[in-house]
C-alpha cells in the first residue's frame, strides 16, 4: 500500500463513518471532523525525512489492513475477559473501551453524573454537552499532524470528564482501552477530553490491551484543560502484546498554580509513540513528566515531549529512564521552549538508559529553545551498560549474575516508579518489573525494608 491507496481507503471509510452519523452531522464537532479529513488529503504520512519522525518508522501502517476495519465494534466481552487487565485494589472507577467504543456493561462509575461528569465522548456529543462542543480540538493540531488529523476525522468516542470547581476525586479513574482483534486487525481512534474546574483534583490511569492475535493500532488524542490551582495525576501504562501499535498525543493546557504530573510506563508493545505536550498559559504552574520504559524483543518506544514555557515563573521537570534488552529500540526527544518573556523559568530534563545488549539502541535528544535570559534550565542524557564494578561487588557476596543484574535493574527502575503517586498503581508496576526480572523475591525484599523501618521507628 502506498500513500495514495491509504488515502483512498480513508476516504471510503470516512464516507461510511459519516453516513452512520445522525443528529450529530451538523454539529460543530462534525464540522471539525470534515476539516480534519480535508487536512489528511494534503498531509503526507510521516517519513523519516521529517525531523520529528527521524528515528521512528511508521511503514507498518502499510503492511496491515488496520484501516479497513476501523471501529469494528465487538462488545461481547465479559467481566472475566477483562479481569486480567484490572489493577488490584483500584476498581472504583473503571471505564472500558473496546475497539474504540465505550462499553457501558463493563464500566462502572462511582460519581453521580449531575455532580461530576465522567462519561463517554459519544454520550456527551449526543446530548450536545456545551463544554465538549466548546473545547473539542482547541489544543489538538489536526491541521498539521497526520495522526491527530486521522483521529479527529474519525473521532467518535473516548473519555469525557468535566469536573466542576472544588472537587477532589480521590479514587483514580482507570481507563482501559481494549482492542479485540479476534476477527482481524483493528484500528481505533479514541478521543479524550478532560476539563478540570478550579481547585479540583483528579487521578487517571490509562492501560492498553489486545485480545486476539491480529495486530491492533490505537491512535489516540487526549486534550486536558487545567484551570486555576488544579492537580492532575496522569498515568499511562503500556504493557501490550508484541503486535500492538500505538500513537498517542496528549495535549495539556495549564492555568495559574496548576500541577500536572504524568508517569508514562512502557513495558512492551511493538510500536509506541507517546507525544506528551504541555503548555503553560499562566504563571506559577508546574509540570512533572516521568517515564520508564523496559523493552525487549523487537519492541520500540518513542517518547516525544514538548513543554512550552510561554509565561514566566513556571517549573518543569522531566525524568525518563529506560532499559533496553534484545533488539529493542527507544527514542527520547525532549523539547523545551522558553519564550522571550518567560523569565524565572525552571526547566530540568534527564534521560538515563541502560542497554543490556549490543543490538539494543537508544536515540536521545534534548531540544532546548531558550529565548529568555533569567532562567534555570538543564538537561542530561546518559547511556551505558550495567555497572561492572557493582556487578562484581554483588557477586562477591554470593549473589548470582542473574540476581545481581535484577537487583541493579530493579533499583534503576524504582527511581522513577517511586514517583507514581497512586500507591496501588505503584505496587502494581513494581510487581510488573519484578516479574520481568523473574525475581519473585525482590518485591518482598522491598517490603522487608519497610518492616525494618517500622520496627526502627517504634523503638
Partner 1 sequence: MALLKIENLSANVNGNKILKGINLEVNAGEIHAIMGPNGSGKSTLANVLTGKEGYDITGGTIEFMGKNLFDMSAEERAREGIFLAFQYPVEIPGVSNANFMKTAINEKRKHKGLPPIDAMEFLQLMTEKAKLVEIDRKFLNRSVNEGFSGGEKKRNEVFQMAMLEPTLAILDETDSGLDIDALKIVANGVNKLSKATNAFVVITHYQRLLDYIIPDFVHVLYNGRIVKTGNKNLALELEEKGYDEIKQNANL
Rule CB under 8 A: which residues touch partner 1? 389-390, 392-401, 403, 407-408, 410-412, 414-415, 441, 445-446, 448-449, 451-453, 455-456
Look at residues 74, 68, 129, 136 and name the one whose alpha carbon lies nearest to residue 100. Answer: 74
- Residues 247 and 66 sit within 8 Å (Cβ to Cβ): no
Look at residues 346, 353, 333, 355 and name the one whose alpha carbon lies nearest to residue 416. Answer: 353
C-beta of 445: minimal distance to partner 1 in Å? 4
- Kindly tell me which of 344 and 395 has the beta carbon lying closer to partner 1: 395
Q: Which grid coordinates belong to 412?
A: 534503576
Residue 393: which H helix or E strand, with range? Answer: helix 388-395
Residues 6 or more apart whose Cβ sits within 8 Å of residue 386? 354, 356, 405, 408, 409
Buried b (16+ CB within 10 A) or exposed e, 27-44: bebbebbebbbebbeebe
C-beta of 102: minimal distance to partner 1 in Å? 41
- Kindly tell me which of 49 and 397 has the beta carbon lying closer to partner 1: 397
C-beta of 291: minimal distance to partner 1 in Å? 17
- Kindly tell me which of 4 and 388 has the beta carbon lying closer to partner 1: 388
- Kindly tell me which of 112 and 398 has the beta carbon lying closer to partner 1: 398
- Kindly tell me which of 339 and 431 has the beta carbon lying closer to partner 1: 431
Q: Which grid coordinates belong to 313?
A: 515563573
DSSP string across 308-363: EE-SSS-EEEEEEEEEE-TT-EEEEEEEEEE-TT-TT-EEEEEEEEEE-SSS-EEE
C-beta of 401: minimal distance to partner 1 in Å? 7
C-beta of 448: minimal distance to partner 1 in Å? 6
C-beta of 441: minimal distance to partner 1 in Å? 7
- Kindly tell me which of 371 and 452 has the beta carbon lying closer to partner 1: 452
C-beta of 88: minimal distance to partner 1 in Å? 22
Look at residues 111, 112, 102 and name the one whose alpha carbon lies nearest to residue 172. Answer: 111
Q: Which grid coordinates belong to 216?
A: 491492533
C-beta of 423: minimal distance to partner 1 in Å? 19
C-beta of 266: minimal distance to partner 1 in Å? 20
DSSP string across 82-136: HGGGSBTTB-SEEEEEETTEEEEEEEE--S-TTTSEEEEHHHHHHTT-HHHHHHT
Q: Which grid coordinates belong to 451?
A: 518492616
- Kindly tell me which of 305 and 414 has the beta carbon lying closer to partner 1: 414
- Kindly tell me which of 248 and 322 has the beta carbon lying closer to partner 1: 322
- Kindly tell me which of 435 and 441 has the beta carbon lying closer to partner 1: 441
Q: Which grid coordinates belong to 78?
A: 465479559
Look at strands 101-108 and 93-98 and give their pairing.
antiparallel
Q: Phi/psi of residue 25, each to 5°? A: -60, -35
C-beta of 286: minimal distance to partner 1 in Å? 25
C-beta of 429: minimal distance to partner 1 in Å? 15
Look at residues 418, 413, 59 and name the one whose alpha carbon lies nearest to residue 261. Answer: 418
- Kindly tell me which of 51 and 455 has the beta carbon lying closer to partner 1: 455
- Kindly tell me which of 15 and 390 has the beta carbon lying closer to partner 1: 390
CA atoms within 13 A on the CB side of 236: 25
Amino acid at each position: 500500500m502506498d500513500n495514495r491507496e491509504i488515502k483512498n481507503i480513508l476516504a471510503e471509510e470516512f464516507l461510511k463513518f459519516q453516513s452512520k452519523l445522525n443528529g450529530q452531522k451538523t454539529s460543530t464537532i462534525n464540522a471539525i471532523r470534515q476539516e480534519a479529513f480535508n487536512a489528511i488529503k494534503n498531509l503526507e504520512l510521516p517519513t523519516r525525512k521529517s525531523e520529528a519522525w527521524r528515528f521512528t518508522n511508521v511503514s507498518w501502517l502499510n503492511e496491515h489492513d488496520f484501516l479497513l476495519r476501523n471501529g469494528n465494534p465487538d462488545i461481547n466481552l465479559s467481566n472475566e475477559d477483562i479481569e486480567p487487565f484490572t489493577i488490584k485494589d483500584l476498581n472504583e472507577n473503571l471505564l472500558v473501551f473496546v475497539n474504540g467504543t465505550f462499553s457501558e456493561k463493563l464500566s462502572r462509575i462511582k460519581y453521580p453524573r449531575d455532580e461530576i461528569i465522567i462519561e463517554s465522548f459519544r454520550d456527551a456529543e449526543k446530548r450536545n454537552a456545551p463544554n465538549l462542543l466548546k473545547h473539542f480540538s482547541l489544543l489538538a493540531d489536526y491541521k498539521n499532524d497526520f495522526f491527530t488529523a486521522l483521529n479527529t476525522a474519525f473521532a467518535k468516542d473516548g473519555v469525557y470528564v468535566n469536573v466542576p470547581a472544588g472537587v477532589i476525586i480521590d479514587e483514580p479513574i482507570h481507563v482501559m482501552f481494549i482492542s479485540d482483534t479476534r476477527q482481524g486487525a483493528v484500528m481505533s481512534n479514541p478521543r479524550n477530553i478532560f476539563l478540570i474546574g478550579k481547585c479540583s483534583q483528579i487521578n487517571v490511569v490509562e492501560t492498553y490491551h489486545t485480545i486476539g492475535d491480529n495486530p491492533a493500532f490505537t491512535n489516540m488524542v487526549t486534550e486536558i484543560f487545567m484551570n486555576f490551582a488544579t492537580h492532575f495525576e496522569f498515568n499511562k501504562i503500556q504493557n501490550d502484546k508484541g503486535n500492538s501499535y500505538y500513537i498517542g498525543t496528549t495535549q495539556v493546557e495549564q492555568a495559574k498554580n496548576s500541577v500536572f504530573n504524568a508517569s508514562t510506563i512502557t513495558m512492551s508493545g511493538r510500536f509506541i509513540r507517546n507525544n506528551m505536550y504541555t503548555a503553560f498559559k499562566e504563571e506559577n504552574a508546574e509540570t512533572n513528566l516521568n517515564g520508564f520504559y523496559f523493552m525487549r524483543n523487537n519492541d520500540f518506544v518513542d517518547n516525544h515531549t514538548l513543554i512550552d514555557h510561554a509565561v514566566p515563573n513556571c517549573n518543569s521537570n522531566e525524568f525518563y529512564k529506560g532499559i533496553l534488552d534484545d533488539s529493542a529500540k527507544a527514542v527520547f526527544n525532549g523539547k523545551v521552549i522558553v519564550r522571550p518573556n518567560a523569565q524565572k523559568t525552571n526547566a530540568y530534563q534527564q534521560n538515563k538508559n541502560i542497554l543490556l545488549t549490543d543490538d539494543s539502541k537508544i536515540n536521545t535528544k534534548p531540544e532546548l529553545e531558550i529565548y529568555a535570559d533569567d532562567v534555570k534550565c538543564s538537561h542530561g542524557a546518559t547511556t551505558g551498560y550495567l555497572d561492572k564494578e557493582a556487578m562484581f561487588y554483588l557477586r562477591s557476596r554470593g549473589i548470582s549474575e542473574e540476581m545481581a543484574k535484577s537487583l541493579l535493574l530493579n533499583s534503576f527502575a524504582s527511581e522513577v516508579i517511586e514517583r507514581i503517586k497512586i500507591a496501588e498503581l505503584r505496587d502494581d508496576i513494581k510487581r510488573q518489573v519484578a516479574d520481568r526480572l523473574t525475581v519473585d523475591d525482590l518485591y518482598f525484599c522491598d517490603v522487608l525494608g519497610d518492616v525494618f523501618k517500622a520496627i526502627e521507628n517504634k523503638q
